[in-house]
Amino acid sequence: MEFLDKDTEKILKLCVDNEGKSSAVLAELFSGCSYYEETKLRSQIKLLKENGYISNIKWGDGLPLFYRIEQKGRNYFANREMNISAKLHKKDLASPVSVYNQCNFGGDNSPIQIGNIDCEQNIDCYFNQAQEAIEELKNHIYELELSKEQITDILNNLVKASDLVKSKKKVQLKTILKGVYDIIKDVGCSFVKGLLISKIQ
């Protein structure tokens, strides 16, 4: 499965969420846009249409006034999560030491640690999986129910975390990731949220 870039995903999600509610939701995106932003929007809408996510786009005054969501568009986000799950499960099976298994939650909704977070048998395992978790969280941060300030704080911490992975400073890295975990731990736990929390605690 090919993933869309995060900006195009946002447009698709907007279309899916407003299906049957507001057919002018795409047109509203063009309000106040610069020439560059408008060109980018047109390109993203074209990509969604050409790849079968949406269809039957009706234009008026240069704006998309109507669209239809195809089944591929409706199923995109569920299929993406299943695809990510399958890939991560495959990696866990191939890994010499597993940091965490899939996220399971106790009665208080807290992640249950079932692996060896220190990866004593293979120190590179810890840093590799930490970097994977960092990249996953960057890709999915806007799906979490967080404020702009929280998102900015997390993204700043993830930049620091990536630098610590490169320099293999484990103690400082765990401190940064624990700070990120503390921000997102109370966010509702969909599969993706739970998977991210289980990997970065």
pLDDT at 196: 55
End-to-end CA distance of the chain: 28
Checking if the pLDDT of 106 tops 90, the result is no
Q: How far apart are CA 91 and CA 131, in angstroms?
A: 14
pLDDT at 198: 54
Total-model pTM: 0.47
List of domains in the chain: 6-72 (1.10.10), 97-200 (no CATH)
Residue closest to 26 by CA, chosen among 10, 15, 36, 16: 15
Q: How far apart are CA 63 and CA 66, in angstroms?
A: 9
Q: What is the CA radius of gyration of the chain?
A: 20
Taking all residues of the chain, what is their mean pLDDT, rounded to a whole number? 75
In this predicted model, which residue has the larger pLDDT, 145 or 94?
A: 145
pLDDT at 114: 34
Q: How far apart are CA 52 and CA 166, in angstroms?
A: 40
Task: List, for residues 138-193, the tens digit of each pLDDT value.
Answer: 777 777 777 888 888 888 888 888 888 888 887 888 888 878 777 777 665 455 45
Task: List, for residues 111-126, the tens digit of each pLDDT value.
Answer: 433 344 444 445 677 7
Q: Angle 83-88-94 (CA atoms, 0-180°, nearest 5)? A: 130
